[in-house]
């Protein structure tokens, strides 16, 4: 279980948990999450799908019970995984994705999405493509950047998720006020950041 670090201030270790079929602990800056993948496993009758595997996601905050925002994270991650999996290969089963937040210093949702992808790769889940996420921030001077400046307020936040084959956006989440031009600039900057993460995925797998 070697820890792989990167110039983009990312570090990851695969297979750290014994019970899941695949797992990953990922740190992006000072934000850290653990992801675990179970499956394909037996599915509950009420969630059984006859033509494909059902995908479930459970997000656990650092402390306390899951709130509304945590349920949003679950929905986003589940939809991304459903899009990327070859779920039709495993009908009448379930694939479970669990995310445990350890530390949040910004870019939490993108870190969780990336950890989920690495855990899927570690589990050997059949996937159409890899996916990676980046959080892009805009300050009140309208500057865009891909890291969270601690203690500084932001005017807007963008989360974009790209696939590894066509480099298209498969999910997005935004907060704040921005123009169409600023949105497009954030997309281009985030695409570059996701390319760096795909390169990092390869480095992790090769190690």
Domain ranges across the chain: 4-206
Q: Which fold has domain 4-206?
A: Ribosomal Protein S5; domain 2 (3.30.230)
What are the pLDDT digits (tens) for 110-136? 999 999 999 999 999 999 999 999 999
Would you state the pLDDT for residue 3? 43
Q: Give 146-185 as a 3 state SS string.
A: CCCCCCCCCCEEEEEEEECCCCCEEEEEEEECCCHHHHHH
Report whether 60 contacts 74 (CB < 8 A). no
Q: Is the pLDDT of residue 199 over 50?
A: yes
- The reported pLDDT for the residue numbered 195 is 94
Tokens at 201, concatenated: 């995925």
Q: How confident is the model at residue 154 (pLDDT cuts 50, 70, 90)?
A: confident
- How far is Cα 204 from Cα 200, in angstroms, rounded to an integer? 6
Model confidence band, residue 5 (pLDDT cutoffs 50, 70, 90): very low
DSSP code string of 79-112: HHHHHHB-GGGSTTEEEEEEEEEEE-SS-HHHHH
Structure tokens at 26: 């990922």
Residue 67 burial (CB count, 10 A): 11
Kindly report whether the global pTM for this prediction surpasses the value 0.85: yes
Say if CB 116 and CB 76 are below 8 A apart. no
Q: Is 47 or 123 the better-scoring residue by pLDDT?
A: 123
CA distance 183 to 178: 7
Name the residue with higher pLDDT: 144 or 5: 144
User: In whole numbers, what is the pLDDT of the chain averaged over residues?
Assistant: 91
């Amino acid at each position: 279980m070697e820890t792989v670090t990167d110039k983009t201030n990312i570090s990851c270790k695969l297979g750290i948990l014994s019970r899941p079929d695949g797992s990953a602990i990922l740190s992006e800056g000072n934000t850290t999450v653990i992801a675990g993948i179970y499956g394909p496993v037996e599915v509950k009758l009420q969630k059984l799908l006859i033509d494909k595997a059902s995908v479930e996601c459970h997000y656990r905050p650092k402390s306390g019970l899951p709130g509304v925002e945590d349920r949003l994270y679950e929905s986003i991650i589940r939809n991304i995984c459903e899009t990327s999996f070859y779920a039709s290969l495993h009908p009448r089963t379930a694939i479970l994705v669990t995310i445990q937040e350890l530390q949040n210093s910004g870019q939490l949702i993108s870190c969780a999405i990336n950890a989920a992808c690495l855990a899927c790769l570690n589990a050997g889940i059949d996937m159409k493509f890899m996916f990676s996420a980046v959080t892009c921030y805009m300050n009140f001077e309208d500057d865009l950047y891909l890291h969270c400046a601690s203690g500084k307020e932001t005017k807007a936040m963008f989360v974009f998720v790209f696939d590894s084959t066509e480099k298209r956006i498969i999910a997005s989440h935004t907060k704040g006020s921005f123009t169409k031009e600023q949105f497009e600039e954030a997309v281009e900057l985030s695409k570059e950041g996701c390319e760096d993460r795909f390169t990092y995925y390869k480095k992790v797998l090769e190690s």
